[in-house]
Amino acid sequence: MRIDPKFSRTKMVEEQIVARGVVDQNVLSAMRKVQRHLFVQGALADRAYADSALPIGEGQTISQPFIVAYMSELLQIQSGHKVLEIGTGSGYQAAVLGEMGAEVYSVERIRKLFIAARTLLFDLRFFNIRLKLDDGTMGWPDEAPFDRIIVTAGGPEIPQYLIDQLADHGRMVIPVGNEKRRQQLILVTKEDGKVTETDMGGCAFVDLVGKQGW
């Protein structure tokens, strides 16, 4: 890499994340630490700290740094929280959550991405992250309930399986929309069994493909 990764991360956090209002120190310090350039394919590594999503192969993308930070902040992660992620992709979002002290369970449906993420996260010694190759729209029933759920692909609805697997006092963030590559980011909360949905604004994710996706 021609640029210094640590300097690039500090700059990324200040200019793209703090500047846009993210204040959770746990999120900011995790994003200063996780080596995003390792999660991006070789030739693109120089652009790893740019203000954009990037291709990771198989027609999928690693999310823009700000989106990773924003979703992580919305989740209000506390150390030891059991967190389910749907859409492991590169493994970067899982690494940020793992760095924040969560017990991460992440599901990916594409075998090649699952294997690459598993190898990298093991090499980086993220032993608090477990991965599964499956259709994540059905959640991870054996490990439910989850304190937090994050879906990093967009489908037409909020899968009922995921609502059912969210613990009481739990929070979920999920992009939802009838158009592809154009969704609203929905924050779902559960308090004494009552489920509330709040629209947190527009976003653009790759397709959530599965039983309760596209």
Among all residues, which ones are annotated catalytic?
63
Q: Return the sign of the alpha-carbon dihedral for residues 85, 35, 46, 123.
A: negative
> 13-72: which residues touch ligand SAH (CB under 6 A)?
60-63
Q: Which of 137, 162, 170, 203 binds ligand SAH (CB under 6 A)?
A: 137
User: Contact, 186 vs 198, CB < 8 A?
Assistant: yes
C-beta of 83 vs 168, nearer to ligand SAH: 83
Q: Which of 92, 105, 126, 140 binds ligand SAH (CB under 6 A)?
A: 92
Burial (CB < 10 A; 0-12, 13-18, 19+), residue 193, is exposed
Residues 6+ away with beta carbon under 8 Å from 84: 105, 106, 107, 139, 140, 143, 144, 146, 148, 149, 150, 162, 165
Contact window for ligand SAH (CB under 6 A) among 2-10, 12-20, 84-92, 188-196? 84-92
98 binds ligand SAH (CB under 6 A): no
- Three-class DSSP category at 23: coil
183 binds ligand SAH (CB under 6 A): no
Contact window for ligand SAH (CB under 6 A) among 19-27, 74-82, 129-137, 182-190? 129-137
Locate 174 and state its tokens.
């999920």
User: Contact, 180 vs 160, CB < 8 A?
Assistant: no
**Cβ count within 10 A of residue 65:** 24
213 binds ligand SAH (CB under 6 A): yes
C-beta of 151 vs 188, nearer to ligand SAH: 151
Residue type present at position 117: A
Locate 98 and state its tokens.
């793992």
Nearest distance from residue 46's CB to ligand SAH, in Å? 18
Residue type present at position 170: G
Q: Which of 136, 139, 170, 175 binds ligand SAH (CB under 6 A)?
A: 136
**Binding footprint of ligand SAH on the chain (CB under 6 A):** 60-63, 86-87, 89-90, 92-93, 107-110, 113, 135-137, 152-153, 206, 208-210, 213
